[in-house]
Structure 1
């Protein structure tokens, strides 16, 4: 019998329930939606979660589509799912937990006696520690961004090769291989000896059908590659960036981009122009280095110094 919160499933069974992580301001219980898919045959355990940032919904869309397709009778091993991690932020469609103004994916491994976010991180990380593989589904918040997978443990980490292999199995085509900030699940998981990746499934307001489709495909790629499901997965070469050049606006006005997401960039290429409201050019920003146009703001209006876009740099294939 495998249990996650109030969900409990014997081999060959499936169940859903709630994982209690604290109380709201009126004293009622906060429970995260969870699922256990317990395969008919013994095997590895996969942990998967979504919406640790409350406005990153594509991962929720992936789980919504993946779970109904999983038949425990055909599964080897166990899948543990937390469908929505950042309960409070999800309710109000915000990025950060409004109870403590914290970005949840900076709170791992958490503290069961800490802040709201630290308690949620501790409860979900206790579940993740049971796994052999971790998928932490994200997106680029509400920015425009390519579909990518992030390996955040750092290239000198003892599990770097295993995390890269997992990213390659997920297979959306682009990988950011750059050590992440403290408190990310994709940092905490490898430190516990568990290969972990952070798929960043595009960026949108609400959710995006194509990014969700790629995420669903990626999850099933992982399930087949690691033997949870029958089937063969050919690992395809991925475009990897090892860093970012980030660009702010030198002037206030309206941005127009000269590059499309995923397009190659060479030094000196125009990335974007800034004009005034009457169309007069105020500034032109060019690339410092070769790379891939990776991420950009969604709205055209900017103030001087405000973030505009990012170019993935130190690019190779692996």
Structure 2
């Protein structure tokens, strides 16, 4: 059966690229997202893969650029639908949000074909995503510093929670955040349509991070092999799971010095960071409220009083 996504159309054993129409720009020209269809020679499951729904999160695009050329449709069972850049307008200006409607696009699913710019984009890509058997929505921790992790966002009482958790374990970043996500996230909405969905957060960087991109490439191929899209064995390892975040802001303005390493275990009472004045005099010291893992931190050292500094993943176990 021939499979289409926008103008991309592929018969069994074929590959094609095209554009998915999502509206018009301010000068009336059409906007098309870059899409691809990989239609396997044999029947099987369908994977939906997307990146850059936040316009400055590029590691997912780095993964797609590596993964797609390596897949031969002749050896594939099933099909893969790919949207390489979801937040078209944010990507053009390297901004996190969609500047046309000033919305975070990954809060607008399942979208509205007659709504705002972000809602129209979400509606168009979700029409494709909900036809899949699995959804991978590739992200990163924006431009902050963050460990590689996968997010299960449906909530632990959801009927598909165990399947989403299994998908995250197969992807194999090493760390999983298992916490119900905000309304409008694809990783929360996908399971409501019966599709196991995860949100791999591939580090945090300005531009591409080679280490995180490679981890994402390995994760996608783990999924393709485990779910029988491709031949091959997958060695599934235990994942470290956090069930919530503690977030910390600066009690005073100044320069941040971290006392915990990204990805390290911290114990309640451990010093996470200090804030100094421009001459190195300590103004404030912040300690961990709970045991956990030093998960994420701001990249720039200067902070104003009350500004976000870092996050610790808590309620940690392994599975």
Q: TM-score range by the shorter chain?
A: over 0.9
Residues 49-102 of structure 1, C-alpha deviations (whole Å, 9 max, x = no match): 000000000000000000000000000000000000000000000000000000
- The aligned counterpart of 1:23 is 24
- The aligned counterpart of 1:154 is 155
Moved over 6 A (4+): none
Residues 266-292 of structure 1, C-alpha deviations (whole Å, 9 max, x = no match): 011000000000000000000010000
CA distance in 2, matches of 1:5, 1:201: 27
CA distance in 1, matches of 2:164, 2:201: 15
Residues 120-156 of structure 1, C-alpha deviations (whole Å, 9 max, x = no match): 0000000001100000000000000000000000000
CA distance in 2, matches of 1:234, 1:194: 24
Unmatched tracts of structure 2, length 5 or more: none
Q: Does 1:119 align with 2:120?
A: yes
CA distance in 2, matches of 1:41, 1:260: 47
- The aligned counterpart of 2:288 is 287
Equivalent pairs counted in the alignment come to 318
Report the secondary structure of 2:207's partner residue: coil
Q: Name the TM-score, length of structure 2 as normaliser.
A: 0.99
Q: Does 1:300 align with 2:306?
A: no
- The aligned counterpart of 1:199 is 200
Q: CA deviation at 1:235?
A: 1.5
| 1:198-277 to 2 correspondences below 5 Å | 198-277=199-278
CA distance in 2, matches of 1:72, 1:61: 21
Q: CA deviation at 1:232?
A: 1.1
- The aligned counterpart of 1:309 is 310
| 1:123-138 to 2 correspondences below 5 Å | 123-138=124-139
CA distance in 2, matches of 1:107, 1:124: 11
Q: CA deviation at 1:234?
A: 2.1
CA distance in 2, matches of 1:41, 1:285: 56
CA distance in 1, matches of 2:235, 2:155: 25
Q: Does 1:94 align with 2:91?
A: no
Residues 152-209 of structure 1, C-alpha deviations (whole Å, 9 max, x = no match): 0000000000000000000010000000000000011000000000000000001100
CA distance in 2, matches of 1:225, 1:233: 6
CA distance in 1, matches of 2:248, 2:278: 21
Report the secondary structure of 1:139's partner residue: coil
Report the secondary structure of 1:112's partner residue: coil
CA distance in 2, matches of 1:40, 1:258: 53
- The aligned counterpart of 2:54 is 53
Q: Name the TM-score, length of structure 1 as normaliser.
A: 1.00
CA distance in 2, matches of 1:261, 1:105: 26
